[in-house]
Amino acid sequence: MSLHSLTIHEAGGLLARREITSVELTTAVLARLSAVDERVRAYITTLEDRAMSQAEEADRQLARGATGPLLGIPIALKDILCLNGERTTAASRILEHFVPPYSATVVDRLEALGAVFVGKTNLDEFAMGSSTEHSAFFPTHNPWNLETVPGGSSGGSAAAVAADMALAALGTDTGGSIRQPAALCGVVGFKPTYGRVSRFGLLAFASSLDQVGPFTKDVTDCALMLQAIAGQDPHDSTTSPLPVPDYSAALQADLRGIRLGVPREYFVEGMQPGMEETVRSAMGALQAQGAELVDVSLPATPYALATYYIIAPAEASANLARYDGIRYGYSAGASSMWENYDLTRGVGFGTEVKRRIMLGTYALSEGYADQYYRQAQKARTVIKQEFDEVFRSCHALVTPVTPTVAFRLGQRLDDPYQMYLCDAFTLPANIAGIPGISVPCGMLDGLPVGLQVLAPAFDESTALRVAYAYEQSGHFRSGKPAL
């Protein structure tokens, strides 16, 4: 078996027993990257030199007898997470040459555990999109079929893990940007509870929705990555002081006594033929592991999309005001202040980002805020209450991740509404703040399908347990894309 295709826990075992070195592992991953990324285009920036010296340092620590699940493990970072001294672009012209003087807390935590950073991955500009085609630089291709999208916005991270160009990656999820690309690329992706993981050093899109989370090759690795990044951070006052449980201890294949709700609103008209059957068959495997499946209803689900597309753009319009060509990032260098704002933002932001800024500004403007923004906040409360209510009788919910498998590059680019529909099943979890995982559960038309497990706030353990039990059932074994 080639080293680049290992999981974290497999590689960790080999490293701990000194059967391989981190330098060998990192070299293999970088070689894989140079062999396939010309076609996939998952990375905006690769960090060969930095990675090799981190790997050497990890080997020195291993030689001294140090241990740890991420020590010496090659990992990719979505290019919206600050990495001290390295270009961090958010896939935007406006930050094309921005080099942050500090790292995100999640990045610092991985670094402290001895992880090796392979590179910064492509995304939709400022994480706005579902296909990675809104990157200002280039689109990423789905490793399973290079004519199709990898999903988004963390499409580069998903594709990098699917194509073995990193053992794992970090992404961010505001409305589905981890779970949707994970589903489309056939890897595991996890959005933690809002407040479980620090957002410090994450370039903000929608601050009440954004969360950082892992992409991995299996659920065991997902627990390891989540463990590494979870927990309170003095730099992010929205992080929770709740203790972080041992996530690996939650992984058990026996689901006896577990009630799983199947919300009927997540099977809608317009889903791709075969999608419902594939996901329901995976749910059957959960039953075989001992879980009880119960029909439930979340009647406000159809309003989630509209609610999200008020709240997220409203917050984005405020967050993106800082890119003014004065403090940092691209500046048009015009002589008058207003002209400089206009030109800097006019040239620096892409079409989708401008669309969000306009939507958000409108939703917040005097005379309209009551009708849009405040109404959306009320809808948000209702959606959250409905989840609270079903979680009184169910330990978790199981749903499809996406209505369709990966679509062709360009297919939805001119139709924002079709693009927004990609996240119909993922964004309710962001609105409610609850955790959700996507685990590969089948193939349709030769492309991966994901199963979503949603759990109550701060109960990541149950989401991991159900996803792990599914994986262990052997119902579906994901192969590797032929690249």
Shortest distance, CB of residue 268 to ligand GLN, whole angstroms? Answer: 18
Q: Does 403 bind ligand GLN (CB under 6 A)?
A: no
Closest CA to 24 of 66, 55, 67: 55
Mask for 99-138, x = binds ligand GLN (CB under 6 A): ----------------------------xxxx--------
Distance CA 182, CA 442 (A): 13
Span interacting with ligand GLN, options 42-50, 92-100, 171-179, 267-275, rule CB under 6 A? 171-179
Span interacting with ligand GLN, options 29-37, 175-183, 360-368, 376-384, rule CB under 6 A? 175-183
Whether a cis peptide bond, with omega within 30° of 0, leads into 34 is no
3-state secondary structure of 148: strand
Distance CA 130, CA 480 (A): 23
DSSP-assigned letters across all residues of 330-373? -----SSHHHHHHHHHHHHS-HHHHHHHHHHHHHHSTTTTIIII
Distance CA 66, CA 286 (A): 38
Which one, 86 or 173, has the nearer CB to ligand GLN? 173
Which one, 127 or 182, has the nearer CB to ligand GLN? 127
With contact defined as beta carbons under 8 Å apart, do 58 and 71 qualify?
A: yes
Which one, 220 or 402, has the nearer CB to ligand GLN? 402
Q: Does 282 bind ligand GLN (CB under 6 A)?
A: no
Contacts (Cβ under 8 Å, ≥6 apart) of 348 = 92, 93, 94, 323, 325, 329, 330, 332
Which one, 36 or 364, has the nearer CB to ligand GLN? 364
Can you tell me which of 55, 118, 279, 312 binds ligand GLN, judged by CB under 6 A?
A: 312
Q: Does 421 bind ligand GLN (CB under 6 A)?
A: no
Which one, 266 or 468, has the nearer CB to ligand GLN? 266
Distance CA 186, CA 402 (A): 12
Closest CA to 120 of 177, 166, 163, 152: 166
Can you tell me which of 103, 135, 142, 177 binds ligand GLN, judged by CB under 6 A?
A: 177
Question: By CB under 6 A, how many residues form the interface with ligand GLN?
Answer: 13
Which one, 37 or 173, has the nearer CB to ligand GLN? 173
Shortest distance, CB of residue 97 to ligand GLN, whole angstroms? Answer: 23
3-state secondary structure of 325: coil
Shortest distance, CB of residue 384 to ligand GLN, whole angstroms? Answer: 18
Span interacting with ligand GLN, options 173-181, 182-190, 368-376, 463-471, rule CB under 6 A? 173-181
Q: Annotated catalytic, 153? A: yes
- In angstroms, the Cα distances linking 29 to 55, 203, 468 are 12, 27, 26
Q: Annotated catalytic, 354? A: no
Closest CA to 297 of 394, 420, 424: 394
Can you tell me which of 59, 164, 221, 423 binds ligand GLN, judged by CB under 6 A?
A: 423
Q: Does 80 bind ligand GLN (CB under 6 A)?
A: no
Choice among 92, 130, 157, 177 that is catalytic: 177
Span interacting with ligand GLN, options 167-175, 240-248, 271-279, 440-448, rule CB under 6 A? 167-175
Q: Does 307 bind ligand GLN (CB under 6 A)?
A: no
Distance CA 220, CA 170 (A): 16
Which one, 423 or 471, has the nearer CB to ligand GLN? 423
Shortest distance, CB of residue 130 to ligand GLN, whole angstroms? Answer: 4
Q: Does 92 bind ligand GLN (CB under 6 A)?
A: no
Please tell me the chain's helix, strand, coil percentages from 3-state DSSP, rounded to the nearest 5. 40, 15, 45
Q: Annotated catalytic, 5? A: no
Which one, 80 or 224, has the nearer CB to ligand GLN? 80
Sign for the pseudo-dihedral over CA of 273, 279, 285, 291: negative
Distance CA 321, CA 349 (A): 12
Which one, 44 or 127, has the nearer CB to ligand GLN? 127
Can you tell me which of 114, 156, 176, 329 binds ligand GLN, judged by CB under 6 A?
A: 176
DSSP 374: I
Can you tell me which of 119, 139, 156, 175 binds ligand GLN, judged by CB under 6 A?
A: 175
Q: Does 174 bind ligand GLN (CB under 6 A)?
A: yes
b (16+ CB within 10 A) / e for 372-392:
bbeebeebbeebbebbeebbe
Choice among 22, 130, 135, 153 that is catalytic: 153
Distance CA 15, CA 1 (A): 15
The token pair at 127 is 């994480």
With contact defined as beta carbons under 8 Å apart, do 64 and 18 qualify?
A: no
**Which residues belong to the active site?**
78, 153, 177
The residues that touch ligand GLN, with contacts defined as CB under 6 A, are 127-130, 153, 173-177, 205, 312, 423
